[in-house]
Structure 1
Amino acid sequence: MCNDHDFNNNKVNRRAAITGSIAAGAAAAASVAASGAANAADDPYAEPAKPALPPSDMKLDLKRTALVVTDPQIDFLSPEGVTWGVVGASVKHHNTVANIETLFRAAKARDLTVAVSPHYYYPTDHGWRFEGALEKLMHKIGMFDRKGSLTTEGFENSGADFMPQYKPYIFDGKTIVTSPHKLYGNESNDLALQLRKHKVDQIILSGMSANLCTESHLRELLEQGFEVAVVKDATAAAMLPEGDGYLAALTNFRYMANAVWSTEEAVKHIQDAA
């Protein structure tokens, strides 16, 4: 059992382990910002002036609709989280933390089904014998680590915990908190089952991070026959020398989702729906 001193030291060590990635991420963020400013459009995320794909005609039926939020957790969304050095610029640029809360508030006001799909790693997960690049990194820095599947010891205010401002919505006794997904998509948890049991087939999707868990949830939910609108400014992603994760995801959102909305648009759809 770890005492508070050990726990605090572990947090320091986790942050130290990602120092190199933080520096790289900051440099990449600066590079993206500089190149964006140099572009004629100024904003690499702006909607295309002449879109080639047909516009969305998705209309919500609130009895069949759920807000789904992926990974609304400290390690992704707080300066205290271990990934802040590489996702922080994107989170701040899109106002992601506040926008997710706005969606929670709007969904609760209309009594929508709300589901949270969290990401947890238990000690046994560190025994995996092969991993992808990000799996290696997440395990190295202790991202989303919990002491075990049957204990909440050390969970509160850890990187795996939910952002404090979201807890009133998540812990209201109505929100579905699914079993954890282990990589990126919801194939490994009970999200689809929970949604089907609530007779939901329309999804408003938000959360972290755009090109990983959010996009993977989008893909799996579409394959499962759900109609999915992604809220583009209620997500964010890492910026690394390997690329801007948000820009990669935004392209795929536009190609695949039934709708791509801003938070303001999503709230209006929720408020105006029958």
Structure 2
Amino acid sequence: MANMTHQWVDIGINLTNKRYDKDRDSVVTSAIAGGVTKLIITGTNVKESQAASKIAQSQPTHLYATAGCHPHDSSSLNESGLQVLKTLLELPNVVAVGECGLDFNRNFSTPEEQIAAFTAQLELATDVQKPLFLHERDAFDTQQSLLQKYLPKIPGGVAHCFTGSKEHMQAYLDMGLYIGITGWICDERRGLELLENVHLIPDDRILLETDGPYLTPRNLKPKPKGGRNEPKFLPHIAAKVAQARGQTLAQLSTVSYQNSCRLFRLESAH
């Protein structure tokens, strides 16, 4: 039986992913039963943002969405796509612009296309006055310079799925951003730096997310069928985060829930 005194928000769940097609409703139901009472569905391009919004509308007290264009899809973002995103972002349960940002690691879209798409979405966030749901990989300096230009006009944002250095974490915090922590922190190979640094995030800036179906916590036992991550595993990730921060689960639950509601204005989004 879940401890329902602990309430959680999964700020990043890719619920439109085809790996949830057969049991999407039960994935949500089991998350809620486990105390993950609010889920923000990530929009990664125009089509996926439309799908995320549609799913969110099916359970407005529990589900929300973002609308945006991931850097990988930047080459496909045009004026009509931006107009669709703007229309979505005017809906109350679409709570952030993104997943947006820069990814110079694999360059599925050219750096130039990525910068153009990201800039367009920064303008969009300024226009609709909603926060940013940010992705960044191997592009920190360029991303930081763009953010410093626009953030004074935008109501904040989160560095989603943060896996970077202590210096980059501090730079994001200095810009007023929140930090999103995933099951990466449960990876004894790649997550050690994050495990060491997570205590440096102030109580009023930490957010939690699964990024499911990806980033299944490596220390989860038994391993989920097919290796699929789900929002119901968020309390497992939270336990690792709380331990590393020297906090109780109750403390982490309280602050991360309040932070999520504050940044994304969840309580007023119905």
TM-score by length of 1: 0.33
Structure with bigger strand share is 2
Q: Which structure has more RCO (C-alpha within 8 Å, separation ≥ 6)? A: 1
Structure exhibiting the larger radius of gyration computed from Cα positions? 1
TM-score by length of 2: 0.34
